[in-house]
Structure 1
Amino acid sequence: MEQPAAGGASDLATLFPERTTTIADRVVVMREYSFVESLHLSAPIAGLVDAMAGVALAGNFHDIDSLRTAFGDQADAVLQLIAAACDQPQSWVQGLDAASGEQLMLLWWGVNTDFFLRRVLQSVQLAKLREVQAIVGPTSSLHSSMPDTTPPDLATTRTVN
């Protein structure tokens, strides 16, 4: 049985997964985006998430092969996101041959799948909610009626002693 890593290292690996490999004679460390980094990369992330959510809403979200069109449609964003996740210049990523580029993209996707799937799932859920709201229409709210402020008619009010 595997022993837990000392000092919470396994917890850290779960929170911030990273993988190291050599691509085109360069050691590459691929990691998941940090919170701050995701804020700085919000525009390319949003574009890719929207494209992936479109694939999911069309019922074609099965595996990475089903996402290749979304990746292609968002090629500039994907290149920027891959370069950021491995701390390499975007020009280096763009200059890779097909096999090395594919290897790097698969490494990036393997490390960042959860990061993107959380966002795609949320986007799909919101789209489905909007669909339901469009069909059902605006929800009505129950309003309390105003209290009756008409003074009682003394002639019809019965007094109990």
Structure 2
Amino acid sequence: MKRFVQPSTARQFNHVQELLERMDFGKVDIKDLGTIDFRLPEDDPRTWLALTGSTHPSRPRIGIGAPVWSVKDWVGYVYPAGTPNKDFLTEYAKQFNSIELNSTHYGTPDSETIKRWRDSTPDGFKFNVKFLQEISHRFPLGADLKLVT
């Protein structure tokens, strides 16, 4: 597996990319070792806010859910008997407080769909969104930066 070394400047990016292409499963030629900037980037200022935020460690919020809500076989078990497909998410959100949103892995939903999902769930319901597959599977990170900018 190739290791991504975060460059400290944009100028170093191409050099690091060239080194990464020559690396074999995280190994680099010893003569190139001194040219790699292994420093970690500075913490984002919001890191401290997140670490000292309102959620107390003794009372974590745990999300319980499934990867989908559109399972017809759940009618009569998870959903009340006779629940129409259009009400599956509403009924799902009565049983669970989160969902792994798999559909975003295959495409970006339009804003109307997102609003409909939001309006079908109670406040506090969490949609755990998967990365688009073009980012997570098809390209090594950094190979197609226009997808994430």
Query: One fold, TM greater than 0.5?
Result: no
> Which structure has the highest helix share of the two?
1
Which structure has more RCO (C-alpha within 8 Å, separation ≥ 6)? 1
Q: Return the TM-score normalized by structure 1.
A: 0.23
TM-score normalised by length of structure 2: 0.24
Q: Rg larger in 1 or in 2? A: 1
